[in-house]
Chain A
Amino acid sequence: MQRAIERRGIPTVSVTVALDVTEHAKPPRAIFVPFMMGHHFGVPFHRELQRRIILEAFDHLVRAEQSGEIKRLPVTWARARKEGKAIEQAMSSRA
């Protein structure tokens, strides 16, 4: 999919949680986050993390020099969940 788009001259970047699948499929550019499947952009209501992952992908889109480069983000699922819980607690105490 990503390769088909890139072949049409349109630069692409993907966000993956499955590093091994991405290494096999060899898309032109990808960033890897060690998150649960279905949670590529983090946890509910954590806007800052969701935004950061998109911006990291954009940065890789602009900077990557070799096809197949996979950038690993220094984030953890445990921390994302912890921050997400704190955000939801703050939301419920405001409600």
Chain B
Amino acid sequence: MTDSSENSTAQLRPGLWQTVNERYPGSMIHKEDFVPLARLRKPLSESRLSFVSTAGVQPKGSLPFDTVHPVGDYTFRHVPSASRLSDLEIHQLKYPTAGALRDLNVIFPIQRLQELAREGVVGELTANFFSFIGYNMDAERLEATLAEDIAGAVAVEGADVVLLAPA
């Protein structure tokens, strides 16, 4: 408890990008440029929000993510935004689930988002949220396939704004 990092505002696990990239060269994304900012078309209170997660959260009964495939799983799942916590489960191996297994909201805050929509902080939620697993060793393939697939799916849902949580 005397570890100074415990009281720090710095990253808890430093050097993550470099560590993983040394072990799996080319697996980590590096960009030189920035994409132009899209502008909000209306106030948040009138906007339809979607949520994208890499946490491997999925509806019970949907095809489990392939957590042991050597190059990763490049598919994604629709997660109905009206889901209850008891409708969902996690399939992934790459981040600590100590908190999420007791309260999924720590990584997939579906109840908080439902509350914020009911209160009118956001106009509404897309019918579906989106989930995949962060274990993908081929960054180029991820960008060419899964990233575009999810971006397309988010657009189909009519999202005005998107919150993401890359686990």
State whether A10 and B166 are in contact (beta carbons under 8 Å apart), knowing that A21-B28, A64-B37 are contacts in the complex. no
Size of A's binding interface in residues, CB under 8 A: 64
The chain A residue with its CB closest to the CB of B148 is: A4
State whether A76 and B40 are in contact (beta carbons under 8 Å apart), knowing that A4-B143, A41-B112 are contacts in the complex. no
State whether A1 and B106 are in contact (beta carbons under 8 Å apart), knowing that A17-B12, A20-B15, A38-B167 are contacts in the complex. no
Confirm or deny: A8 has a beta carbon within 8 angstroms of a beta carbon on chain B: yes
Size of B's binding interface in residues, CB under 8 A: 66
Contacts of A57 in B (CB 8 A): 163
- Docked-complex contact A1 and B164, CB < 8 angstroms: yes
- Contact mask B107-147 → A, CB, 8 Å, 1/0? 10100110110000110000000000000000000110011
**Distance to closest chain B CB from A34 (angstroms):** 5
Contacts of B163 in A (CB 8 A): 12-15, 54, 57-58, 61
Q: Of residues 1 to 52 in B, which have CB atoms within 8 Å of A's CB atoms?
A: 6-18, 28-40, 44, 52
Interface residues of A (CB under 8 A from B): 1-29, 32, 34-45, 47, 50-51, 54-55, 57-58, 61-62, 64-68, 72-79
Interface residues of B (CB under 8 A from A): 6-18, 28-40, 44, 52, 55, 95-100, 102-103, 105-107, 109, 112-113, 115-116, 121-122, 142-143, 146-148, 150-152, 154-155, 159-167
Q: Which 8 A-B pairs have the closest CB atoms?
A: A44-B103, A38-B95, A67-B34, A4-B151, A14-B164, A78-B6, A4-B147, A26-B31
